[in-house]
Amino acid sequence: MPELPEVEALAAFLRERLVDRVVSRVEVAAINVLKTFDPPPTSLAGLMVAGVTRHGKWIDIDVDGLHLVVHLSRAGWLRYSDALPAAPLRPGGKNPVALRVRLAPQDDEAEDRPPGFDLTEAGTQKRLAVHVVRDPLQVPGIASLGPDPLAPGFDLPAFAKLLAGSRQQVKGLLREQSVLAGVGNAYSDEVLHAARLSPYAAAGKLSDTEVETLYTALQTTLHEAIAAAGGKAASQLKDAKRAGMRVHGRTGLPCPVCGDTVREVSFADRSMQYCATCQTGGKVLADRRMSRLLK
């Protein structure tokens, strides 16, 4: 799933290509991706893109006061093209393209193959979400977001306040969008590894020193990931994310810090990775799913 650094990079990528361009047509192939009906996607036609911003993991395309708001979820992605196919997008079938936005052609751009982008989704779990709203806060997932960790006012005291008194495990708290916007499963693994903290540590019981270390790791990890993604085309961001990971998605490989084997704990629909030497004092965390398989 794209998280804060990738969505930030996607927003910057789109900003360069969409702002001050007119939307000529929006084509929908998978009606289930639309989570709103008024205003309809067709209302964006003929309007000019005024800006592209990010809210947590959400992309917000401001089209002259109407907002096309997208959450890519686990298997969704955005593909930009300088020349989209001339044939209109057709509903149904096995085409992974769920929605297409065509821009009005300019200068030497072909009228039948204008630039624009597709929203695609692979797999069987269809969670890609598209909203067309007059105010981004009309999207429940945005209205309920916690503070953005990269916001100017999000300092160490603000972070400490989020943790204070919490009974949650720190891994769960970091990826809880109503507590902290934009961090998901991958970057919470990376932040905890950088902070040398167990994912199972109780957030509200961390010492002042541990809270400060975790805050520094959060800021450093996200800023480094954004810098690594900056300037890359949308098609390159997934590979850039994987290449930058130190523990997440690296089960069985050596930890880049200590050389110990990166370990995994599996859940129903996700997994987390950690280094026992760096994070848990050598203790291997129980993996209940694997334990059941071995019985």
Active site residues: 2-3, 57, 270
CA atoms of 151 and 167, how far apart (whole Å): 25
CA distances 173 to 167, 176, 221, 254, 262, Å, are 9, 5, 17, 27, 22
SS3 at position 174 = helix
Beta bridge partners, 133, equal 67
- Give the phi and the psi of residue 212 in degrees, each rounded to 5: -65, -40
HSE-up of 102 (CA within 13 Å, CB side)? 23
Q: What is the DSSP string of 231-284?
A: T--GGGHHHHHHHH-SSTT-TTSBPTTT-PBEEEEE-SS-EEEEEHHHHSTTPP
- Structure token pair of residue 68: 């096309």
First and final CA of the chain: distance in angstroms?
Answer: 32
C-alpha 193: how far from its chain's center?
20
| Nearest alpha carbon to residue 189 among 142, 148, 152, 225 | 225
* CB contact at 8 A, 5 and 222: yes
CA atoms of 100 and 213, how far apart (whole Å): 43
Beta bridge partners, 55, equal 58
